[in-house]
Structure 1
Amino acid sequence: MDFTPYYESVSDNPFLEDFYKDQKKWSYHLQTFFLFHRFNSIKRIIDSDDNAILDRSIYEDAEIFARNLYNNGKMSEREFQTYRQIFYTMLEYLKKPDLLIYIKTSVDTVVKRIKKRGRDMEMAVPIEYWKQLDDLYRDWIKDYNQSKVYIVDGDEIDIVENPDYIDKIVQDISELLELENVK
């Protein structure tokens, strides 16, 4: 679709490996780094006025990942409230997205794809963590109202294994965004 992609900061994240070793100690640092990185990406998108796509929304940072860490006692009340203050202050300066693409996928499929991706630090995470995230995602998407939503059935559709699905997804997204001349 000729959108500029913005990816989650994984390989250059100075806290990610430490986080997987000691989540309680590093959760606030990790989430704050992700939030700051995503905020900067969105600011660059706004400043460039280009069509762009983020691989994860900024809303997920606070409402799913930070909340999950807080719910599990891996982020203190003080850290969580400070994080949320930063998050909501940042939101005041951002344009809402035009579309959220939600890939609805079961935990079993997520775990299979994590194993296929092969990141050791992710594969060491207990399945209960992925289940907790899944519960938060399901609750969050029900109330999400920042933009239009396009839901992809991630259990049925795997564009890595079957890239033929891409054309249909691109067409659907183009129609939702009312874009013309999409390849």
Structure 2
Amino acid sequence: MSNMKSITNAARAVQKRPFRVSIEGNIGSGKSTCIKFFDKYPNVEKHGEPLDEWRNVRGHNLLGLLYSDMNKWSFAFQHYVHLSRLKIQTSQPCNSNITVKMFERSVQNSRHCFVENAKKQNFLEDPEYQTLLAWFDYSEKHLDINLDLIVYLRTTPETVYERMMKRGRAEESEVPLDYLKQVHESYENWLNSPDVGCEVLTIDADRGLACVKEDLERYSYKILGGNHTN
């Protein structure tokens, strides 16, 4: 009887979880700006990419280390990214009024985009790659990490490279255009495959910010889980 009660309580917890929206896109595609657009909705809990956490893992800047030597640091970085995204994606909302949880990139993105690209570019040895897959497979099997919607800010690599150079983040100064092309290809492969597992809303983010905001406003009902029932 106690086991049945535990299963029922777990099922209810899953049913009551917020509508999960992952904002996806290449470096410099406008993900943070997109999330800020929804500041006006008090029922939305928003999570940007935890850059500060990645820059200080007990004194180590994993993000900086990654960009300085992807062959050496991809495994450690992707392992920690999975943990940080998992904490964001599965944590309980800050209050009971939250009906939508929105975050910048997802556990699924790490698995199907960045880990796959790291393996393809030989930044990961096969034992490292298999370890990361096992980490993801366990999470997918035993935790509720499902997404309800992906908003894909689709860009060309050349556009985001120009934006990246203008904003001048220290770690990104070493990122070549070729890497952005690899990330773009990985996104296209992932979001056009059966592995997506949810609806994908694609927005042309090569256009100016005003146009992107118009699309966000136009599709806000969908993005905020309109007609969605848990």
| TM-score between both structures, scaled by the size of structure 1 | 0.86
- The answer for the alignment partner of 1:119 in structure 2 is 169
Shift >2 Å, 4+ stretches: 45-50, 164-168
Following superposition, the deviation at residue 167 of structure 1 comes to 4.8
8 Å contact kept, 2:204–2:212: no
**Quick check: 1:150–1:173 contact (8 Å CA) kept in 2?**
no
User: Could you tell me which of 21, 33, 47 is aligned with 2:80?
Assistant: 33
Aligned residue for 2:89? 42
Q: What corresponds to 2:160 in structure 1?
A: 110
The answer to which of 98-107 and 44-53 deviates more is: 44-53
Unaligned 5+ residue runs, structure 1?
A: none
CA distance in 1 between counterparts of 2:227 and 2:129 reads 39
Deviations along 1:114-169, one digit per CA (max 9) or x if unpaired, are 1122112212112111111111111111115421111110112x43xx3x642541
1:69 paired to 2:118: yes
Once residues 102 and 121 of structure 2 are traced to their aligned partners in structure 1, the CA distance between those partners, rounded to angstroms, is 31
Identical columns (%) = 22
TM-score of the superposed pair, with normalisation by structure 2? 0.70
1:155 corresponds to 2:196: no
Aligned counterpart in structure 2 of residue 84 of structure 1, from 133, 149, 164: 133
Instruction: Check if 1:11 corresponds to 2:52.
Output: yes
Consecutive unaligned residues in structure 2, runs of 5 or more: 1-40
Alignment of 1:23 with 2:70, yes or no, is: yes
Cα RMSD for the two superposed structures:
2.2
Count of residue correspondences = 176
Q: Distance in 1 between matches of 2:95 and 2:150?
A: 20
For the Cα contact (< 8 Å) 1:109–1:155, is it kept in 2?
Answer: yes
Conserved 8 A contact 2:89-2:106: no
For each residue in 1:30-66, what CA deviation from the matched residue of structure 2 results, as whole angstroms up to 9, or x when unmatched? 0011110000001114796632101112211011111
Q: Which has the higher contact order (CA 8 A, sep 6+)?
A: 2
* Distance in 1 of aligned mates of 2:117 and 2:215: 33
Structure exhibiting the larger radius of gyration computed from Cα positions: 2
The match for 2:5 is none
Alpha carbons 1:5, 1:54 under 8 Å: kept: yes
- Kindly provide the CA deviation profile for residues 63-107 of structure 1, in whole angstroms up to 9, marking residues without a partner as x: 111111111111110001100110111122124222100011000
Find the aligned partners of 2:128 and 2:138 in 1 and give their Cα distance.
Answer: 15
Q: Report the 3-state secondary structure (helix = DSSP H, G, I; strand = E; otherwise coil) of the residue aligned with 1:11.
A: helix
Q: Distance in 1 between matches of 2:116 and 2:196?
A: 18
